[in-house]
Structure 1
Amino acid sequence: MSTEITDTSRRLAPRLIEDWFLANGRDLPWRTALPHSSGCTPWGIMISEFMLQQTPVIRVLPAWEAWMNRWPTPADLAAEPASEAVRAWGRLGYPRRAQRLHAAAVAIVEKHDGAVPDTREALQELPGVGAYTSAAIAAFAFGRRESVVDTNIRRVHARLFSGKALPAPSFTAAEARLAEELLPEDRAESVTWNAAVMELGALVCTARSPKCEECPVAAQCAWLAAGSPEPEYTPRGQAWHGTDRQVRGAILAVLREAGTPVPRELFLERPDGWDGPAGTGSPDLSWGGSGVLHHLDALHRLKAPAEQRERCLAGLLKDGLASESDAGLTL
């Protein structure tokens, strides 16, 4: 990697990337960095940041819209039990995010008069809000100059400025320093820069199939100048099939659909002679309807060992994502 390439990248990249973003950025309902944005409340941006953690935009959009329609303010969500947040979370994955978002709404009502706090420090005191989320909310909801560094931004920085195919497996101090150095001094421009680099990583500078021919800074890219070297390690994708996460998700799908407690034994053993929702021998689930039957059948089709289902039930109860009474389990 030549010094000249790096210097050129640092000088030209901000303007080129921001111009590209202003012309090509997606018009997402929680986005405020584009000139034609209709605006979004800090609470709406906060919900989006929780939902977008490890979940793609295409799956978040309908869920975000449903949440904003149902709970347009923190007070609206705080007024309902946490189980309703978990139920409405649907299939976004990592349902503890819903639980923490509900807890954050309660804290906002109790400690901030129902208004989302506007500084990174105050935000980070809320349940479920860490370093990245607090910086993102402060920047995108309140226009503060904060270094927002997600996976997409790390990848763009690694290729454009460091000549690496991928960033280090874990966020490093050197990456943090680089992000701070690149952040524009002007507050408004810093917000646009954060959103623009994030969008470039999401749409063009992707992990597996980068569209270098569409990249506005290809001529300044240290990775391309170095001949596009292979990654120094092989990223490990998160397993899903057969994991506790999959089984927990299947159990929660049943509980979300059920209107009353579901007997514990229905999670642990497939009823004798039951061929599924459309088959014979179906258990008496008239209280839950066809949706419960469908999700219960999906759980049993996983063929998870009984001890794994027991472990997942225990974990959901411990995490507060489910509760149990003599009648059975509920959210």
Structure 2
Amino acid sequence: GYPRRALRLHGAAQAITERYGGDVPREHAQLLSLPGIGEYTAAAVASFAYGQRHAVLDTNVRRVFARAVTGAQYPPNATTAAERKLARALLPEDAETAARWAASSMELGALICTAKNEECTRCPIATRCAWRLSGKPAHEGAPRRGQTYAGTDRQVRGRLLAVLRDAVGPVPQTALDAVWDEPVQRARALDGLVADGLVEPLENGVYRLPQS
């Protein structure tokens, strides 16, 4: 979730300061070595910030490639090796052009070739789109994952963090117990926050947010 991302962003900033004197590294391998930085983020930074040739695959780009090239309405739920191979094959050879290609394909998916209500009449590659030319067949793959939130551990974690964020000092266990009725799920969520470094347990059964 977003709290974990913030923690990893802080860790990456510290690593950049300690290892590279505060300058974001240019090399893809160096970017991958930073805390919380995966293949997508490393490729995006190298491409967008430094104009390098890397395949940048986010949800929007994957959807564009699925429709335009493979003729499927949606890509698989998780990125596959075949998608990565296709993205590399489509990437222009020239680094500067490849960087523009990466940004353009992402914008195309975000603004025009959207998950719902796609605007094919505005699409610059509509006449070449395999999905459109085949009559826009419905999705036949695995069911697409929904973005459910209510009742999940994410919701419990959010409520626990809200109590800690609004408190003026350490929070007793009883105050945290009041935010969620199901004790097993509540304990699991709290343990996860502690393990992720987002909550700091203190003596006498009280908790607080990490102190910078």
Question: Normalising by the residue count of structure 2, what TM-score does the alignment of the two structures yield?
Answer: 0.92
5+ residue gaps, structure 1: 1-92, 270-299
> Which residue number corresponds to residue 268 of structure 1?
177
In 2, distance between residues paired with 1:131 and 1:238?
A: 23
In 2, distance between residues paired with 1:311 and 1:180?
A: 41
Does residue 1:96 correspond to 2:4, yes or no?
yes
How much has 1:306 moved relative to structure 2?
2.4
Contact 2:163 2:176 in 1 (8 A): no
Contact 1:120 1:138 in 2 (8 A): yes
For 2:62, the aligned partner's letter is: R
Q: Superposition pairs for residues 88-167 of structure 1, below 5 Å?
A: 93-167=1-75
> Which residue number corresponds to residue 236 of structure 1?
145
For 1:317, the aligned partner's letter is: V
How much has 1:171 moved relative to structure 2?
1.9
Q: Superposition pairs for residues 288-303 of structure 1, below 5 Å?
A: 300=179, 303=180
How much has 1:227 moved relative to structure 2?
0.7
Does residue 1:325 correspond to 2:208, yes or no?
no
In 2, distance between residues paired with 1:243 and 1:132?
A: 26
How much has 1:318 moved relative to structure 2?
1.8
> Which residue number corresponds to residue 211 of structure 1?
119
Contact 1:204 1:212 in 2 (8 A): yes
How much has 1:160 moved relative to structure 2?
0.7
Does residue 1:310 correspond to 2:187, yes or no?
yes
In 1, distance between residues paired with 2:107 and 2:47?
A: 15
For 1:190, the aligned partner's letter is: A
How much has 1:119 moved relative to structure 2?
0.9
Contact 1:138 1:146 in 2 (8 A): yes
> Which residue number corresponds to residue 44 of structure 1?
none
Q: Identify the match of residue 163 of structure 2 among 254, 265, 276.
A: 254
5+ residue gaps, structure 2: none
In 1, distance between residues paired with 2:177 and 2:79?
A: 41
Q: Which runs of 4+ in 1 moved over 4 A?
A: none
Contact 1:165 1:228 in 2 (8 A): yes
In 2, distance between residues paired with 1:229 and 1:304?
A: 45
CA RMSD of aligned residues (A): 1.5
In 1, distance between residues paired with 2:200 and 2:85?
A: 45
How much has 1:326 moved relative to structure 2?
3.3
For 1:329, the aligned partner's letter is: Y
Q: Percent of aligned pairs with the same residue?
A: 50
In 2, distance between residues paired with 1:174 and 1:263?
A: 50
Residue correspondences, number:
207
Larger radius of gyration: 1
Contact 2:64 2:113 in 1 (8 A): yes
Contact 1:247 1:304 in 2 (8 A): no
For 1:330, the aligned partner's letter is: R
For 2:20, the aligned partner's letter is: H
Question: Normalising by the residue count of structure 1, what TM-score does the alignment of the two structures yield?
Answer: 0.60
In 1, distance between residues paired with 2:130 and 2:195?
A: 48
